[in-house]
Structure 1
Amino acid sequence: MEPIYARCDKSCNQSFYVKHFKEDKLHNTIEKTYFNCPNCGQEYVCFYTDEEVRKLQKKQRELQRKLKWVTDADEVKALLIEQDKLRAATKERMDAIKQKVEQQHEQ
């Protein structure tokens, strides 16, 4: 994966490349993916996942592989519709997890 250019907009305003993301297992099956500013250590959460999200992501990867080989226009259209549904379901679930984790963190 290509490094991502970032700026610490919460603390030191330092620019840097994110070369590696970190993962921490939280309670139950929830995992947090994040990176830290190398200058001040400020944490930036990218996203949270659980078993359901990881299954949805796996389905998306499988669908991507399938799309590479399909030539029938109707089948491609159907697969793209399925892909959009999977993306929407994944985003909805990830947003719900983020809200739950952040609410628990505030308490």
Structure 2
Amino acid sequence: MEAGTGPGVAERLAAAPIDLSVFDSKGRAAYVYFDLARAWAQADGPRDDQALRALDTAERLASVRIRHDPIARDLLLILDQRAQRRTWELDSLRHRFGIGGPVSPNAKGANTGG
């Protein structure tokens, strides 16, 4: 993944669902999803929805570990900057990570449901 092969690796992982029962802790399972989020994000935009979902899953499995991980925080900021529009998922993650206000110059209004 570090060599930029992330999207291909993510596609292979997505083809077979991840069995979380094989991990002996939620923290380890969370980092599998965190790595998956990083892999999807290497596509530089077209797979950002998948990256957000994987990061969200990682955060739900081990919220304190993921929220305080500097690479996870940077990844969320990158995804936010690339966002073409505001989404509930992105806003929710930003709120849970304690990252206030939209930073995306591309975002077109907030998705507030109204």
Normalising by the smaller structure, the TM-score range is: under 0.3
Q: Give me the TM-score of the superposition, normalised by structure 2.
A: 0.26
Higher strand share: 1
Specify the structure having the higher radius of gyration (Cα): 1
Task: Tell me: higher relative CO, structure 1 or 2? Use CA pairs within 8 A at least 6 residues apart.
Answer: 2
